[in-house]
Structure 1
Amino acid sequence: MKPTNLNMKRLKKNQSGKFHKINSIKRLLSLTKPYLNKIILAALCVMIVNAAELLKPYILKLVIDDFLIKRISQKGIYSITSMALLYFAVVAIGGLSSFAQVNLINKAGQEIMRNLRRRVFRTIQFLPLSYLDKTSSGRLITRATNDVEALSEMYTDVIISLFKDVFLLIGIVYVMLALDVKLALISFSVVPMMFFIIFLLKNKIKNNFSKMKSLIGRINGFMSENISGMKIIQIFTGEKEKNNEFLKLNGEYLKSTLFQVRMNSILRPAADVFQNLAVAIILWYSMSKIANHTIEIGVLFAFTTYIKQFFNPISDLADNYTTIQSALVSAERIFELLDEEDSLEDLDEGRSIENLQGDIEFKNVWFSYNNSDWTLKNLCFKVKKGETVAFIGETGAGKTTIISLISGFYKIQKGEILIDGININDIKKRDLRKAISVVLQDVFLFSGDIKSNVILNDNISEKTLTKSLKTTCALDFVNGLTGGIHSPVMERGATFSSGQKQLLSFSRALAHSPSIFILDEATANIDTHTEKLIQKVIEEMAQDRTTLIIAHRLSTIRNADKIVVLKHGEIIEVGNHHELMGRGGYYKDMIQDDTKIAN
């Protein structure tokens, strides 16, 4: 019978899933290479612990059979006292080995996690904006936190536990077969049923873990988004609606978590049931054998102890199975992110040009974010070094896109963008962005202090910092703070006004001595007094610098050397304010229409 399309799809999906799982396991193991010495030493300690676990029941078996049942006379070193000392020595060695193993594997595991977190964060830092545009912050946060933590548990607990349990099982099977083959086979008769249950549940557990990881990512994203936008929520009294959204999302996560709890609650009790069933079968079978002296009591005692030891690893394996499934799902998600390393921005690729002058030219530039709908169409313009050029147009005209392209955040599909006559694709992005400072409408301040927010950990002297604060009229309010430039900055600069944050943003831009100065709606959210201060700042900063301005306020663009008017991604007018007003075209209509541009 030929396989149906549906069956073929399922087969391909299963094969793909197996491939990803095997690939993830290989990559997880490859992360341990730098720490093999510690892991091998921990494994040796585990072997000693296992040997101790196997010896203890056998020593007690000898004591029971030889000294309690047969009451043989003590000869030489073979005595109750020597057996007691041997038992104590085995326990002590096992305990010390266990202590060493735990410390070694945890140290190796935490070092692996440190390196993995570093790789994940570095990857996120250098991801192209095109990737970040289509990926929620919640997903990235989940990979850097929850998913890494899931792997941490696997490295510190599960890997060495698996090694220990597997070799302990092998040792127990060997000792039980050596003591009594028939009794050992009877003991193992319940094991297939245990593994059958695990086999039935494994796919459900794995699929549910995938669902849980996805939901926690959505919850993290929802929380992050709503905390950032709490002001808007409260202004529009949307607390109830947002709360209902969260309750729905949280309810879905609760359902999947409870399902996981039910799965876990089956595995551990099942192992306990089969363990006690095996003990009961052994006791029932052995009673008549003990009566006719074909089985010794010490052997029966050792077997019941070994059975408990045998099922403890199986119970651990059942528990660890859920942890492993969680870790494999997390590993797939983390490696999916790390696989983006091939597309990361290389800031040092290209020609090194330390002092870009600021001549900018767009030659027949076509650009689309999704490779279908053109955002910019055949754009051509030149900006000479030291010129101030303003870009205006309705929302969606392509103004901010031009700024992003100049900074090298996206690659154009057609045409060329030249800085000082050099294609920006040939210039090191590190040098390119060092020459550009951008002041955005929505100022972002990091937690820390004023100094760190202005210099951004660059090699900028305190003298340069103070000068930039003074030039941008920010020094007065900074000196008025208790700590001056060392005054704390809360998350997103919550304790500062919009105007104060904007002045600090201008200080940040000036402190890095750019050749190209970009204002992207930088005066949109400030009061009239602060705007007047900023106008003076812009005039001073624009001297001997190429300045690009995106603004809707006439006061900001009136004195520009050139104004570029955009509509639907195309340039429709170019000139200074007086020239464009004299033409009586689209620009004049925008100026006169208060709904489009504010004086």
Structure 2
Amino acid sequence: MPRAPRPPRPMPPLDEWYDPNRPMRTLVRLFRPERAKLTGAAVAYAFKHSPVWVMPLLTAMIIDIVVEQRPLRELWVATAVLVVIIAQNLPVSILYIKALSLSVRNVESGLRMALARRLQELSIGYHRRMSAGVLQAKIVRDVENVVESTRQTFDSAMGAVTTMLGALIITGIRTPEFLPIFLLAVPASAVLIVAMRKRMSARNRAFRHHIESMSARVSEMTHLIPITRAHALERRELDRLDSTLVSVREAGIRLDVFNGRFGALAWITFQLLSVACLVGAAYAAYTGLFGVSAGDVVMLSTYFMQLTGSVTVLLTLTPMIAKGLESVRSMGEVLVADELERNEGKRTVDSVAGAVSFENVTFQYDDADAPALQDVTLDVRSGETVAFVGPSGSGKSTILNMVIGFLAPTSGTIRIDGNSVSDIDLRSYRRFMAVVPQESLLFEGSVRDNVTYGSHDLSDEQVWDALRSANAAGFVTEMGGLHAVIGERGARLSGGQRQRLAIARALIRNPRILILDEATSALDNESERLVQQALERLMAGRTTFVVAHRLSTIRGADRIVVMRDGQIVETGSHRELLDAHGEYAAMQR
């Protein structure tokens, strides 16, 4: 029986030390838990790669055996050594790949989970400002950049470093007079890296911003396809995308040309040094200087080509490293964002009766000139249904978001059963809440998966009870039952059917506080009737906050709150407000 895969090692809290301004140090810390595996991978690589730097020495020995007519026994010994060091490559390569892959994949899954966890903790205001496409790019593309650049850098750098060390050590032992010439390659590479690194980092950062803009544009385009096609605006959307793609192309060309110029400069430099080494070694062997043999000429020439090739590899890694470091910076925009909903250490709520009160609550969005709510005071009793009406921008949705806990008051206090919302763990409070929005949020999967989302260990009968109460059992049966697939975002369902599934999901949670945000505004009359019947069953005995533009849907509310410019201007039942001949009565007319 195959062994179950080990879960990835949990990533330590990144927000405590993640520093996007020091990406190299941050990258090192990301891999710190994997240092034992990386060390093992490095040792395995040194062994598997040994033929590259041992074979020039053995080749020189074989040439000298032939030229100097030494005993054939020495030839067979050299041949046996060559066979052994070549054959060990296969088993040691497998050990190397396993150690490196395990460490890299652990960091990959840990980073993605850390980003996903952070996105769940960040405020709703942050998510409203950030494009979903950009955030998706950080979880998918940026993590992939870090992983692939690390893997390729480790692989290529280990090859280059082991080759350089082997060449320098053997040269220092066999022909130490040529060691200073070999060492010229190292400072030359350092000069090139220092000269180009800053400009390369800037180019990679610019290219990353263009890619993020493209991701946001593509995400927006795919989301708007139904509207675009319905209004024959395909050409306009393609033109908008085309301008974005052109900017990505131009930025990519500039980056590629810059990297190509960098690589060509390095190649020319080291090829000239290689030619100088070959000529120098041949001259020394021809004149008998330093006792250099014919085999030494081949060895020195090969080693210098390997050395210059290794340094060139290290130089060409600079763009790849810069790309990975830029992704470390990019992920930092999420991982160190401070707009968090902080629940740790706060009091856990074990039960909710449903009494909600606003005490002189004022709220203003960061980018707004005026408050969205201003000095709002409202007491909602447990089990009461309160509807909010008013023109767009009057503060209705802001109130709902504050009841959910998505927004915190700029001033004033919101209390749940007498407890300030700022003092309680909102996650525990939301277990007693259900939200039915204007656009039902369904995911690709079965009816059962969508209805029981967030609720576990429910029997099929409980699910059917919720579907019957939501007037959804009929169409679910026609689709094939609880395991029928509804398509991405409920594509196989009508708007009314999606809403009834959302109501079934809310019913099965048995909430104490219910939020209905324009739950029937986008439905036809027949769908609205079915949804309204389901909502009435859902609202029974629960504290309910309703926002609706259709006044016909809120006549049965215990209280109707009329809002304008972030303030409450009228409060009362449907009949009381009509008799008052105020704003509500004007809306009815």
TM exceeding 0.5:
yes
Residue 366 in structure 1 maps to residue 365 in structure 2: no
Q: Deviations over 1:520-569 (max 9, x none)?
A: 11110001111112222222222211122111112211111111000000
Structure 1 residue 171 corresponds to structure 2 residue 170: no
Structure 1 residue identity aligned to 2:110:
N
Tell me the residue number matched to 1:113: 108
Change (3 A) 1:399 1:244: same
Q: 2:340 aligns with which of 344, 349, 355?
A: 344
Q: Determine helix, strand or coil for the equivalent of 2:336.
A: helix
Distance 2:20 2:433 in 1: 45
Q: Distance in 2 between matches of 1:288 and 1:82?
A: 30
Residue 25 of structure 1 is matched in structure 2 by 24
Q: Structure 1 residues 162 and 286, CA, compared in 2 at 3 Å: closer, same or farther? A: closer
The answer for the alignment partner of 1:475 in structure 2 is 473
Please give the root-mean-square deviation of Cα atoms over the aligned residues, in Å. 2.2
Tell me, yes or no, if the aligned pair for 1:521 and 1:552 is still in contact at 8 Å: yes
Q: Deviations over 1:58-92 (max 9, x none)?
A: 12212212x11211235xxx511111001111222
The letter for the 1-side match of 2:246 is: G
Instruction: State the AA in 1 paired with 2:552.
Output: S
Equivalent residue, structure 1, for 2:53: 54
| CA deviation profile, 1:401-445 (whole Å, cap 9, x unmatched) | 101000111111111111111112222212221221111111111
Looking at structure 1, the residues matched to 352 and 70 of structure 2 have their Cα atoms a distance apart, in angstroms, of 96
CA distance in 1, matches of 2:460, 2:566: 43
Query: Are the aligned partners of 1:43 and 1:160 in contact in 2 as well (CA < 8 Å)?
Result: no
What is aligned with 1:354?
350
Match of 1:234 in 2: 229
Q: CA deviation at 1:246?
A: 0.8
**1:333-388 deviation line (CA, Å, top 9, x unaligned):** 11231123x65334564323322111111111011121862110000111111211
Match of 2:379 in 1: 382
The alignment status of 1:298 with 2:295, answered yes or no, reads: yes
Q: What does residue range 525-540 of structure 1 map to in structure 2 within 5 Å?
A: 525-540=522-537
Q: TM-score under structure 1 normalisation?
A: 0.90
Query: Can you give the 5+ residue segments of structure 2 that lack an aligned partner in the other structure?
Result: 1-17
Deviates further, 446-455 or 28-37:
28-37
Which residue of structure 2 lines up, in the alignment, with residue 34 of structure 1? 33
CA shift at 1:487, angstroms? 0.9
Structure 2 equivalent of residue 512 of structure 1: 509
1:271 CA drift (Å): 4.1
Are residues 438 and 165 of structure 1, via their aligned partners in 2, closer, same or farther at CA, if it must alter by over 3 Å?
same
Give, in whole Å, the separation in 2 of the partners of 1:380 and 1:200: 63
- Greater shift after overlay, 397-406 or 352-361? 352-361
CA contact (8 A) 2:282 2:297 kept: no
8 Å CA contact retained: 1:449, 1:487: yes
Aligned AA (2:168):
V
Say which is worse superposed, 271-280 or 191-200, in terms of deviation. 191-200
Is 1:68 equivalent to 2:63 in the alignment? no
Match of 1:596 in 2: none
Q: Distance in 2 between matches of 1:191 and 1:37?
A: 28
271, 283, 287: which one aligns with 2:278:
283
1:253 to 2:248 alignment? yes
Question: What is the deviation of 1:164?
Answer: 4.2
- CA offsets 1:181-205 (integer angstroms, 9 cap, x no match): 4434345556655554444433332
Which of 95-104 and 251-260 deviates more? 95-104
Render the CA deviation track for 1:74-119: whole Å, top value 9, x for unaligned.
5xxx511111001111222345433422332122111211111111
Contact 1:446–1:492 under 8 Å retained in 2: yes
Counterpart CA distance in 2 for 1:428 and 1:26 is 34
* TM alignment of 1:151-190, pairs within 5 A: 151-189=146-184
Contact 2:189 2:315 in 1 (8 A): no
Q: Which residue of 2 aligns with 1:465?
A: 463
Q: Which residue is 1:328 aligned to?
A: 325
Query: C-alpha separation between the residues in 1 aligned to 2:166 and 2:182?
Result: 15
Select which of 368, 388, 393 maps to 1:391.
388
Distance in 2, Cα, partners of 1:73 & 1:549: 99
Q: Give the AA of the match of 2:355.
A: D
Paired with 1:244 and 1:322, the residues of 2 have a C-alpha distance of 32
Q: Distance in 1 between matches of 2:271 and 2:90?
A: 27
* Structure 1, 182-191 or 276-285: larger mean CA deviation: 182-191
Query: What is aligned with 1:491?
Result: 488
Change (3 A) 1:287 1:534: closer
Q: Give distance in 1, aligned partners of 2:414 and 2:123.
A: 18
Contact residue 56 and residue 90 of structure 1 kept, 8 A: no
Instruction: Tell me the secondary structure at the aligned position of residue 295 of structure 2.
Output: helix
Distance in 1 (alpha carbons) for counterparts of 2:101 and 2:184:
36
**How many angstroms apart in 1 are the aligned matches of 2:538 and 2:69?**
101
For the 8 Å contact 1:357–1:515, the answer to whether it is kept is yes
Match of 1:203 in 2: 198
1:308 and 1:198 map into 2 onto residues whose CA distance is 20
CA-CA distance at 1:321 after TM superposition: 0.9
In 2, the alpha carbon distance for the partners of 1:99 and 1:369 equals: 56
The equivalent of 1:440 in structure 2 is 437
Deviation at 1:217, TM superposition (A): 1.0
Structure 1 residue 496: deviation in Å? 1.0
Change (3 A) 1:186 1:536: closer
Cα distance in 2 for residues equivalent to 1:529 and 1:220:
39
Render the CA deviation track for 1:188-227: whole Å, top value 9, x for unaligned: 5566555544444333321121111111111111111111
Distance 1:109 1:236 in 2: 47
- How many Å separate the matches in 2 of 1:21 and 1:186? 40
The whole-number CA distance in structure 2 between the counterparts of 1:347 and 1:469 is 34
Cα distance, 1:548–1:187 mapped onto 2, change above 3 Å: closer
Asked whether 1:309 is paired with 2:306, we answer: yes
Separation of aligned partners in 2, 1:343 and 1:172: 53
CA gap 1:474/1:20 in 2 versus in 1, 3 angstroms: closer
Distance 2:437 2:406 in 1: 15
Amino acid at match of 1:452: D
Q: 1:152 to 1:190 in 2, by over 3 A?
A: closer
AA aligned opposite 1:495: R
What SS class does the counterpart of residue 374 from structure 2 fall into? strand
For each residue in 1:143-172, what CA deviation from the matched residue of structure 2 results, as whole angstroms up to 9, or x when unmatched? 101100001112322135324423432332
Query: Contact (CA 8 Å) 1:105, 1:160: kept in 2 or not?
Result: no
1:11-50 CA distance string (max 9 Å, x none): xxxxxxxx96773222211222332221111111123245
Whole-Å Cα distance in 2 between the matches of residues 39 and 529 of structure 1? 64
Match in the other structure for 1:557: 554
Equivalents in 1 of 2:89, 2:264: separation in Å?
28
Provide the C-alpha distance between the structure 1 equivalents of 2:164 and 2:284, rounded to a whole number of angstroms. Answer: 26
Contact between 2:21 and 2:329, CA under 8 Å: does it hold in 1? no
Question: What is the CA–CA distance in structure 2 between the aligned matches of 1:186 and 1:535, rounded to whole Å?
Answer: 86
Amino-acid identity (%): 27
Q: Which amino acid aligns with 2:258?
A: M
- Conserved? CA contact 2:391–2:564, under 8 Å: yes
1:426 to 420, 423, 427: 423
Q: Is the 8 A contact 1:52 1:93 kept in 2?
A: no
SS in structure 2 opposite 1:431? Answer: helix
